[in-house]
């Protein structure tokens, strides 16, 4: 399968490209960036896995994207201390719109995995951009929220002294990808009781885990290595689904009206037409969302969802307005 990475030379792009070079489902790895992609691709091409690996420039973007089944987008600027993800909108909104227009033009069938922040707005930008081109397949546009899941798994395991590698059934994350739009959902509600007074701390760490990294990097950017792993985990799920495997349970930020169960979720949540939920993938496309998670929330989790919805409305609207210009 051909995978294209757009923003491949960046802090996330390089380790993500390395991981994809190691994935046996990938036969052709196309690395695109406005700088350095030829060098990154040449470097990776010496690794003795069977995939071909080539670098592309803005002059050859058509070649980079054509035939790609999956396009992963970690392009754009990262945060510095004191910034919110929304502060990135000014620069990244235009970058994402431009990239998605090219994907709509050259790889309209591709599954598009958006990493660029602010995800709560860049995914609506991607959807509206494709819609206006007449190229939207809603289940093909996925906002990558997997890093929130990794953090929830890691932190919950630390609090409960459990095996970090066996936590994906214990906790997941729904909502959006910034601050209080991030809602960790613990499967066994007794774990919440076990956390006791540490529950609030756990939720805060998941919601603001990105800030921990931004602060520790002290001006040199945000999470890159953990994000590369997160992007890899989600992209691998999409690839396995494309290869015919039954894949479900991975949360991603999706356009609800375009997928089965989405309208019910909209009715339950009110106001929002995008939300991250565990999804069912078929041939790498989101065909449905698992709404059952919303009917099994604790009282605390319900409160977190309500707050997430309140914040998401503005983030989503901002993305739509940008994509549609004066049309909205």
Ligand X SMILES: O=C([O-])CC(=O)C(=O)O
Residues in contact with 292: Cβ distance below 8 Å, sequence separation at least 6, in sequence order: none
* 95 interface partner picked from ligand X, ligand NAI, none, CB below 5 to 8 A per type: ligand NAI
**Strand-pair partners of 183:** 174
**Residue 222 in contact with ligand NAI, rule: CB under 6 A:** yes
**Cα(226)–Cα(146) distance, integer angstroms:** 10
Say if residue 7 carries a ligand binding annotation: yes
CA quadruple 285, 164, 172, 9: dihedral positive or negative?
negative
Q: Which range in 46-54, 56-64, 78-86, 129-137 contacts ligand X by CB under 6 A? A: 78-86
Residues in contact with 114: Cβ distance below 8 Å, sequence separation at least 6, in sequence order: 73, 96, 122, 123, 126, 141, 142, 143, 144
Note if 177 is an active site residue: yes
**Residue 210 in contact with ligand X, rule: CB under 6 A:** yes
**Residue 55 in contact with ligand NAI, rule: CB under 6 A:** no
Say if residue 293 carries a ligand binding annotation: no
Min CB(168)–ligand X separation in Å = 18
# binding residues, ligand NAI (CB under 6 A): 33
- In the block, tokens 């431009």 appear at 98
Among 44, 126, 136, 144, binds ligand NAI (CB under 6 A): 144
The region, left, alpha or beta by phi > 0 then psi within -120 to 50, assigned to residue 39 is alpha
**Residue 175 in contact with ligand X, rule: CB under 6 A:** no
* 98 interface partner picked from ligand NAI, ligand X, none, CB below 5 to 8 A per type: ligand NAI
Give me the phi and psi of 125, to 5 degrees please.
-60, -45
Which one of the listed residues 46, 54, 161, 177 is annotated catalytic?
177
Give me the phi and psi of 244, to 5 degrees please.
110, -5
Query: Would you say 140 or 252 has its CB closer to ligand NAI?
Result: 252
In eight-state DSSP terms, residue 260 is: B
Among 65, 107, 214, 227, binds ligand NAI (CB under 6 A): 227
**Cα(102)–Cα(52) distance, integer angstroms:** 22
Give residues in contact with ligand X (CB under 6 A): 78-79, 85, 117, 147, 210, 213-214, 222-223
For the annotated catalytic residues, the residue numbers are 177
Give residues in contact with ligand NAI (CB under 6 A): 6-7, 9-13, 33-35, 74-79, 88, 92, 95, 98-99, 115-117, 119, 144, 147, 177, 221-224, 227
């Amino acid at each position: 399968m051909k995978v294209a990475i757009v923003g491949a030379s960046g802090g996330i792009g390089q380790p993500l490209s390395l991981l994809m070079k190691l994935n046996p489902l990938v036969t052709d790895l196309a690395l695109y960036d406005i700088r350095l992609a030829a060098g990154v691709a040449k470097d990776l091409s010496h690794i003795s896995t069977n995939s071909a690996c080539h670098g592309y420039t803005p002059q050859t973007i058509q070649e980079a994207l054509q035939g790609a089944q999956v396009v992963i987008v970690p392009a754009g600027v990262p945060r510095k201390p004191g910034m919110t993800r929304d502060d990135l909108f000014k620069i990244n909104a235009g970058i994402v719109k431009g990239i998605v227009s090219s994907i709509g033009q050259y790889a309209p069938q591709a599954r598009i995995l958006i990493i660029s922040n602010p995800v709560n707005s860049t995914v609506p930008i991607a959807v509206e951009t494709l819609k206006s081109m007449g190229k939207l397949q809603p289940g093909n546009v996925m906002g990558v929220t997997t890093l929130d899941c990794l953090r929830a798994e890691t932190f919950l395991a630390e609090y409960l002294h459990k095996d970090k590698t066996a936590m994906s059934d214990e906790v997941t994350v729904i909502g959006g990808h910034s601050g209080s739009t991030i809602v960790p959902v613990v499967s066994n509600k007794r774990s919440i009781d076990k956390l006791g007074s540490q529950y609030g701390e756990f939720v805060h760490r998941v919601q603001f885990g990105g800030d921990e990294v931004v602060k520790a990097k002290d001006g040199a950017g945000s999470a890159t290595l953990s994000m590369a792993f997160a992007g890899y985990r989600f992209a691998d799920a999409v690839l396995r689904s494309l290869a015919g495997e039954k894949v479900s349970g991975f949360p991603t930020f999706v356009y609800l009206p375009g997928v089965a169960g989405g309208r019910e979720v909209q009715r339950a949540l009110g106001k929002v037409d995008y939300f991250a939920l565990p999804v069912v993938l078929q041939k790498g496309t989101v065909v449905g969302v698992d709404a059952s998670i919303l009917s099994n929330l604790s009282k605390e989790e319900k409160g977190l969802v309500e707050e997430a919805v309140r914040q998401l409305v503005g983030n989503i609207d901002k993305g739509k307005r940008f994509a549609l210009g004066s049309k909205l």
